[in-house]
Amino acid sequence: MHPTHEKATKVISYLEDVILQTVCRILIPFIQVYGLYVIAHGHHSPGGGFQGGVILGASFILLCVAYDINEAKRRMTEKVDTVFCSLGLIIYSGIGLICLVLGGSYLNYSRLGQVLPVNPVDARSIGILGIEIGVGITVMAVMISIFLDLASRGEHEEGLE
Amino acid sequence: MKLLALFAVCATGVLLIYGTVDMPDWGDPHSPASVHVSPRYIEKAMEETAVGNIVTSVLADYRGYDTLGETVVIFTAAMACILLMRRRRK
Amino acid sequence: MMIGFYAMIGKRNLVKKLVGMNIFQTAIILYFISTGAKRGATIPIVDHGQGGAMHAVNAAYYVNPLPHVLMLTAIVVMVSTFGVALALIIMVYRRYKTLEEDEILELRK
């Protein structure tokens, strides 16, 4: 289509920067652990499912920015990403359906105290933790999916610098 | 064209500021937003759900159905982006 | 709020309109949360010790948590709208090769 454009992109597909790549390689596991910390501490400090999911998605976007987008797509392919989108919603409605099957109304977590060895008040706390995990997984997968769709279609077919 | 836009924005701004004259004072603990159902949430959240963060317990337990709809909204946004962007290469 | 509104209707580039929409939504979220403030109150997190040592909770000491909950939903809607709008802008650019709204209206005739 555009021969000069193709020639320009054949020379260099992405910009390698040693400092950026080394720092990102060290930082990304810490960012992911922090994201899991924010999800798990939604009970005692500000945070919860949405916030932790966005932090986990941002760690993957940092990987895409520092390295080539094809190499980042090898870590999380688009099929696995779409499965994760649905998995979080399945966890959320699954917990609601379990509460329905056990005799209460939909999303009434105190009925979970009949299968788990806790009293009904603590069963609500466990139900809240379960659905926050589901929301966190879905939000992370959606952030990655929207970023991959917007960054790799259109003009750039090979690299993201 | 830009003058028309500027005039419309200023008119809307004046109308909005005129609308806030009637609202209760800032920081009033007896404003209608903080009186009806939110004291019940604040007082009963710890003993009914054993979760200290009131925002999480309201979002995930008292209003859990809205959060389910919320998650479906962001899932639908991802599906819309997938349908728009991914084409089969012929 | 009015800056975002002016950007949405006064600018010609599509991306600038989108940035204006984002500013508008953020301003509305901040305004809504400010209606739940109370004088001398703290964030709505009840401190609790290990094993459930509870004390009496006075509702006037904590900020109203309901606007915070509703605005979490509004933030997620903001992000979804932004993502889909960017995808639509990419499709418009592919079809018309320009992002100015008057040139797009010219090309449609």
pLDDT, tens digit (0-9, with 9 covering 90-100), for A38-57: 999 988 888 888 999 999 99
Measured in angstroms, the CA of B61 and the nearest CA of chain C are apart by 12
What confidence tier does A12 reach under pLDDT thresholds 50, 70, 90? Answer: low
Token output for B73: 């909204």
Would you call B2 an interface residue with chain C, using a CB distance cutoff of 8 Å? Answer: yes
Contacts with A150 from chain C: Cβ below 8 Å:
83, 86-87, 90
The pLDDT of residue C53 is above 70: no
Interface of A with B in 49-78 (CB under 8 A): 49
Q: Which of B55-64, C4-13, C25-34, C52-61 has the least mean pLDDT?
A: C52-61
What is the structure's pLDDT at C83? 92
**C-contacting chains (≥3 CB pairs under 8 Å):** A, B
Q: Which residue has the higher pLDDT, A11 or C88?
A: C88
A117-126, B51-60, C32-41: range with highest mean pLDDT: B51-60
What confidence tier does A161 reach under pLDDT thresholds 50, 70, 90? Answer: very low
Contacts with B38 from chain C: Cβ below 8 Å:
59, 64-66
What is the structure's pLDDT at C55? 67
What is the structure's pLDDT at B88? 59
d(CA A112, CA C11): 54
Interface of B with A in 13-72 (CB under 8 A): 47-53, 55-57, 59-61, 64-65, 67-68, 71-72
What is the structure's pLDDT at A34? 95
Average pLDDT, whole number, for chain C?
A: 85
d(CA B25, CA C85): 38
Bridge partners of C13, per DSSP, are: C100
d(CA A16, CA A8): 16
What confidence tier does A155 reach under pLDDT thresholds 50, 70, 90? Answer: very low
Q: Which of A11-15, A156-160, C103-107 has the least mean pLDDT?
A: A156-160
CB atoms under 10 Å from CB of A142, counted, come to: 29
Fold of C2-41+61-108: Helix Hairpins (1.10.287)
pLDDT, tens digit, 9 for 90 and up, residues A81-117? 999 999 999 999 999 898 888 887 888 888 888 887 8
Reduced 3-state DSSP string for B3-57? HHHHHHHHHHHHHHHHHHHHCCCCCCCCCHHHCCCHHHHHHHHHHHHCCCEHHHH
Closest CA to B87 of A160, C95, A153, A6: A153
Q: Which residue of chain C has the CA closest to A49?
A: C72
CB–CB contact B33 C67 (8 Å): yes
Among B48, B56, B82, the residue with its CB nearest the CB of A43 is B56
Burial of residue A77 (CB within 10 Å: 0-12, 13-18, 19+) is exposed
What is the structure's pLDDT at A159? 46
% of residues, chain A, pLDDT over 70: 85
pLDDT, tens digit, 9 for 90 and up, residues A61-70? 999 888 888 8
Q: What is the dihedral sign for C-alpha A18, A20, A21, A27?
A: positive
Measured in angstroms, the CA of A62 and the nearest CA of chain C are apart by 18
% of residues, chain C, pLDDT over 90: 32
Quote ipTM for the complex.
0.82
For residues C47 and B52, is the Cβ–Cβ distance under 8 A? yes
Would you call C51 an interface residue with chain A, using a CB distance cutoff of 8 Å? Answer: no
Q: Which residue of chain A has the CA closest to C49?
A: A44
Measured in angstroms, the CA of C81 and the nearest CA of chain B are apart by 7
pLDDT in tens, chain B (90 residues): 788 888 888 999 999 888 888 777 776 767 766 778 888 888 888 888 888 888 898 898 888 899 999 999 999 999 999 888 876 554
Among B50, B54, B80, the residue with its CB nearest the CB of C45 is B54
Report which DSSP code applies to C42: B
Token output for C97: 């090769």
The domain spans of chain C are: 2-41+61-108
Would you call C53 an interface residue with chain A, using a CB distance cutoff of 8 Å? Answer: no
Distances (CA, A) of B76 to A92, A145, B71, B88, C80: 16, 12, 9, 21, 8
Measured in angstroms, the CA of B7 and the nearest CA of chain A are apart by 36
Interface of B with C in 42-81 (CB under 8 A): 42-43, 45-47, 50, 52-55, 58-59, 63, 66-67, 70, 73-74, 76-78, 80-81
What secondary structure does DSSP assign to A16-78, as a single string?
--HHHHHHHHHHHHHHHHHHHHHHHTTTTSS--HHHHHHHHHHHHHHHHHHS-HHHHHHHS-H
What confidence tier does C43 reach under pLDDT thresholds 50, 70, 90? Answer: confident
Report which DSSP code applies to A155: T
d(CA C78, CA C76): 5
CB–CB contact B55 C52 (8 Å): no
- What is the radius of gyration, based on Cα positions, of chain C? 21
What is the structure's pLDDT at B22? 79
Among B50, B53, B84, the residue with its CB nearest the CB of A122 is B50
For residues C10 and C85, is the Cβ–Cβ distance under 8 A? no
B16-30, B51-65, C34-48, C57-71: range with highest mean pLDDT: B51-65
CB–CB contact B53 C38 (8 Å): no
